[in-house]
Amino acid sequence: MMCNAMNHNTVFRTARSSRSPRLCAFALAHLALLLPLGVSADTYGDYTYTVSDGGATITKYNGSGGAVAIPSTFGSHPVTAIGNYAFSEHTLITSVTIPDSVTNICDWAFLLCSSLATVTIGNSVTNIGGYAFAECPSLTAVTIGNSVTNIGGYAFADCPSLTNILFTGDAPALGYSAFHNNNPATFYYLPGIGDWPSWFGGRPTVCWNPAFSSASSASGAFAVTLTGNPSAALPVRIEASDSLSSPSWLPLSGTTTIPAGGTLNFTDPDASPPPARFYRITFPR
């Protein structure tokens, strides 16, 4: 796992602003000077990477964007880190899924990804570096894996559309202004996980505990009633699969909301579902 340590106060203040493209280019151009001598870069599909202690660190994403699911291995090497600036300023990435093999998301990894809307962080990541997802104006929802213990300074700063953040583990340590200038954001956590305060990092916290309360089948269509938190609305997405042995979960709805203290009634839009169909509730992603 290899991340280049930089002085947050000197380097990033020249590179973080989208209004200073020449200074951004200056900072990025000097990243080549930060690779240790003797470390060579390889490519695997859309990725450039280096190997240290057997693990691969992504140093550059070269793909076309869209929904990006990062592989867990590059050949025989597990992908263990996402390096400094590896995905930064890519304007066409819309979503990112980070696998469980990754343990570290380095500083500025996804800085200024203007179309990035959703992020799912795997359950082995322990650290999210400073400014890792800063200034992503389209970012709306983030799911943070259950091993994260530290979120660096300004990691999600200046993401004005960020409304839903789900923590699947205990409350991590937060660096300075980790969620700076994200006024709509609410932090959700899972029931029975950790001891969450009512406010965290300057934002309200809510237990994300949706449940199926009743189900019925009328005229061949499946209908379900969902309940949630008695004091706060819960964002949800409903998915279905025709098999549990080799599931392929498909969304039946976009992000919808269970009102505080209320219920949400949902009917499968497929009027003639297959003989077996399974349903689940997920966090928006």
Give the tokens for residue 145: 């894996």
User: What per-residue confidence (pLDDT) applies to 104?
Assistant: 98
165, 266: one domain: no
DSSP label of 9: I
Last residue of one domain, picked from the residues 183, 207, 231 = 207
> What pTM was estimated for this model as a whole?
0.85
Asked if residue 1 belongs to a domain, the reply is no
User: What per-residue confidence (pLDDT) applies to 275?
Assistant: 74
pLDDT tens by residue, 33-80: 345 545 679 999 999 999 999 999 999 999 999 999 999 999 999 999
203, 216: one domain: no
57, 33: one domain: yes
Residue 28 backbone dihedrals phi, psi, to 5 degrees: -65, -40
Asked if residue 45 belongs to a domain, the reply is yes
Maximum alpha-carbon separation in the chain: 68
Specify the 3-state DSSP secondary structure of 29.
Answer: helix
Whole-number average pLDDT of the chain: 87
| Number of domains the chain is built from | 2
- Return contacts of 45-54, CB within 8 angstroms, 24+ apart: 45/71, 47/71, 47/74, 49/74, 49/77, 49/79, 50/2, 50/83, 51/77, 52/1, 52/2, 53/1, 54/78
Asked if residue 2 belongs to a domain, the reply is no
Percent of all residues in the chain with a pLDDT value above 90, rounded to a whole number: 70
d(CA 136, CA 231): 30
Residue 10's Cα: distance from chain center in Å? 27
| Burial (CB count <10 Å: 0-12, 13-18, 19+), residue 9 | exposed
d(CA 65, CA 23): 24
101, 38: one domain: yes
Residue 223 backbone dihedrals phi, psi, to 5 degrees: -125, 145
User: What per-residue confidence (pLDDT) applies to 59?
Assistant: 98
Mean pLDDT for the stretch of residues 141-158: 97
Which residue would you say has higher pLDDT here, 2 or 129?
129
Percent of all residues in the chain with a pLDDT value above 70, rounded to a whole number: 84
89, 222: one domain: no
Q: Indicate the pLDDT class of residue 222, thresholds 50, 70 and 90.
A: confident
Whole domain around residue 125: which residue ranges? 8-207
Which residue would you say has higher pLDDT here, 105 or 252?
105
Going by their DSSP bridges, the two strands 203-207 and 186-189 should be labelled as parallel
